[in-house]
């Protein structure tokens, strides 16, 4: 005679399954996050290599973070953006309206992170996106098209570019300070305009940060996790969150939220900033020894 399961036996089996699911679910979630981090690193590797190709094809000039004229970048001064340039010039192409594009980390939160001009104190904003091309209209960033320059689609970009980005006022222009800059800005204090950076400005390309998890450009003084107005999005697993990062030579590596180098500015201690950027460490400066000379 066939013996059926008793109710108690069924309940024991269900309980065992529930325990196994509870044990496995965190591991599966971690595996999914790790897989998305790998996709993100692949996106950045492709973009980083495209930046190298752009410079090779353009007489060793570095791609602009965006092109502009005038000091404020307000209404009537549309900003194209490095990702839009790569897309238009067929280095990395994006389907119109796609979030699943090579400039969009799969861990990106669906937030317009700098809709009001800054990320502020909300830790979610740096993990969001910025849609390029755009215009500064008052304190807001509003997406536009620039059809006369071939920018006929808007692209949601969830990576930050290490650029001189003095939008919104008149400041002194220090050429070749970071990886790139907002070309055409000016005249700044002293009458200078930002020109395209050249590869010759890079002291150590393998240490110079070009792109990272995050959005927009500039604000290097506030890079670390938890800083107000930080534009670096620490989207991936790690001790305090990590940012996938592409360097000027095209390679990619993660940087932890408390280890991402900052620039001088605000209340940052010059000795700490120097320690973060020199001695073969990742740097936000094209030539850290020159920029941070005692």
Tokens 């119109």 belong to residue: 96
> What distance in Å separates the CA atoms of residue 80 and residue 143, rounded to the nearest whole number?
10
For range 222-251, the mean pLDDT: 93
Cβ atoms within 10 Å of 86's Cβ, excluding its own: 23
Per-residue pLDDT band at 29 (split at 50, 70, 90): low
The better pLDDT of the pair 160, 168 is held by 160
Query: What's this model's pTM, rounded to 2 decimal places?
Result: 0.89
Tokens, residue 184:
């055409």
Instruction: Round to whole Å and give the CA distance between 243 and 153.
Output: 27
Rounded Cα distance between 225 and 240, Å, is 8
Res 20 pLDDT > 80 = no
Q: Which residues contact 76 (CB under 8 A, 6 or more apart)?
A: 135
d(CA 104, CA 44): 9
CB 215 within 8 A of CB 114: yes
Look at residue 7 and tell me whether its pLDDT is greater than 80. Answer: no
Residue 112 β-bridge partners: 129
pLDDT value for 73: 66
Listed in sequence order, the residues at least 6 apart from 188 whose beta carbon sits closer than 8 Å to its beta carbon are 71, 166, 170, 171, 172, 173, 194
pLDDT for the residue 26: 65
What pLDDT, on a 0 to 100 scale, did the predictor assign at position 244?
97
Query: What φ, ψ does residue 212 adopt, rounded to 5°?
Result: -155, 160
DSSP assigned state of 197: -
User: At 74, is the pLDDT very low, low, confident or very high (cuts 50, 70, 90)?
Assistant: low
Torsion region of 180: left, alpha or beta (phi above 0 gives left; psi -120 to 50 gives alpha): beta
**Predicted local confidence at residue 181, as pLDDT:** 96
pLDDT tens profile 252-268: 999 999 999 999 999 99
Give the ranges where 1-140 is alpha helix by DSSP (H).
7-57, 82-88
pLDDT bracket for residue 12 (50, 70, 90): confident
Using CA atoms, how far residue 248 sits from 3, 111, 141, 203, in Å, is 70, 28, 28, 11
Q: How far is CA 93 from the centre of its chain?
A: 18
Decide the pairing of beta strands 66-67 and 180-183: parallel
């Amino acid at each position: 005679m066939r013996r059926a399961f008793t109710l108690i036996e069924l309940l024991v089996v269900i309980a065992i399954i529930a325990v196994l699911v509870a044990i496995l679910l965190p591991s599966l979630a971690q595996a999914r996050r790790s897989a998305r981090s790998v996709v993100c690193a692949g996106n950045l590797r492709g973009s980083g290599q495209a930046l190298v190709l752009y410079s090779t094809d353009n007489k060793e000039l570095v791609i602009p973070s965006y092109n502009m004229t005038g000091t404020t970048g307000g209404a009537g001064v549309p900003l194209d953006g490095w990702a839009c340039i790569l897309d238009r010039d067929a280095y990395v192409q994006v389907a119109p309206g796609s979030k699943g594009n090579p400039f969009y980390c799969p861990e990106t939160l669906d937030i317009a992170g700098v809709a009001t001009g800054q990320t502020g104190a909300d830790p979610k904003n740096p993990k969001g996106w910025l849609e390029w091309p755009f215009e500064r209209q008052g304190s807001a960033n509003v997406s536009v098209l620039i059809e006369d320059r071939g920018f006929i689609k808007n692209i949601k970009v969830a990576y930050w570019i290490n650029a001189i980005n003095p939008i919104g006022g008149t400041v002194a222009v220090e050429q070749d300070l970071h990886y790139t800059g907002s070309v055409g800005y000016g005249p700044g204090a002293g009458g200078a305009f930002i020109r395209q950076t050249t590869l010759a400005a890079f002291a150590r390309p393998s240490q110079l940060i070009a792109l990272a998890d995050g959005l927009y450009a500039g604000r290097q003084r506030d890079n670390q996790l938890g800083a107000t107005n930080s534009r670096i999005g620490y989207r991936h697993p790690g001790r305090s969150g990590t940012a996938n990062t592409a360097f000027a030579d095209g390679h990619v590596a993660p940087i932890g939220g408390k280890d991402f180098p900052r620039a001088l500015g605000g209340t940052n201690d010059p000795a700490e900033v120097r320690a973060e950027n020199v001695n073969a460490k990742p740097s936000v400066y094209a030539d850290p020894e020159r920029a941070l000379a005692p």
